[in-house]
Structure formats: structure tokens, C-alpha cells
Amino acid sequence: MVETLYAMAGGGGGAEGGNAFLSFLPLILIVVVMYMLILRPQAKKQKERQKMLDAVKKGDEVVTVGGVHGKVVGLKNDDKVLVVKVDDNVKLDIDRSAISSIIRSS
């Protein structure tokens, strides 16, 4: 019985050139599927987020990652830090990367 299974699996003969490619085909397919389903959409999302962050300007109403809502009233440190007005006489310095979304542009 064991000899029959071994013979069906091709264990008795020499290695053929086509079998080497066929043995790596599942691994190649897994890598391609991972790229298409995970890596590519993630890179696309990251590119869209960076585009949104680059578009933030003075006068935009934004929401931070922490849930703080406010209006951008200024920029600091080569536009890396945003001055966000939360309420009368309350302004916060927020890193550009901490912006979650833009609610409205003026």
C-alpha cells in the first residue's frame, strides 16, 4: 500500500524539469494573491491619505485622530504643525499626521 502511494506521488523516478515549476506554483500564487488583496489596496489607501494631508490648508475644518474638531487658523514648522482653533481663545498645535479627516474647506 505504501509503495503504491509512493509511486503515485512520483517518488520513485528522477526529477523532471516541469515538476520544479509546478511545485513552486502554489507559493507564487499565494504571493500574488497577498499582493492583490492586501498590499496593493493598503498602498493605495496610504497614497490617498497622504494626498488629503497635503491638501489641508488654513481655513479648513478638520477632525483629529483623537476626535478633536476645529478650524485650521495657521501653520508652523514648514507646514508640519497646524494651529487648530477649537473654541474662542483655545488654539492647539497639532501635527499634520494627526488629522483624521477634513470636514469642510473654505
Q: What is the domain partition of the chain in residue ranges?
A: 17-54, 57-104
pLDDT-above-70 percentage for the chain: 82
Q: How many CA atoms lie within 13 A of 53 on its CB side?
A: 19
d(Cα 87, Cα 53) in Å, to the nearest integer? 22
Residue whose C-alpha cell is 474662542: 88
Task: Over range 42-64, report the average pLDDT.
Answer: 94
**pLDDT category of residue 8 using cuts at 50, 70 and 90:** low
The distance of Cα 78 from the centroid of its chain, to the nearest Å, equals: 25
pLDDT tens-place string over residues 55-105: 999 999 999 999 999 999 999 999 899 999 999 999 999 999 999 999 987
Higher pLDDT, 29 or 105: 29
The answer to whether residues 73 and 58 touch, using CB atoms and an 8 Å cutoff, is yes
Task: Over range 43-60, report the average pLDDT.
Answer: 94
The answer to whether residues 102 and 52 touch, using CB atoms and an 8 Å cutoff, is yes
pLDDT-above-90 percentage for the chain: 66
CATH for the stretch 57-104: 2.30.30.100
The single-letter DSSP state of residue 20 is H
Residue type, 90: V
**pLDDT category of residue 106 using cuts at 50, 70 and 90:** low
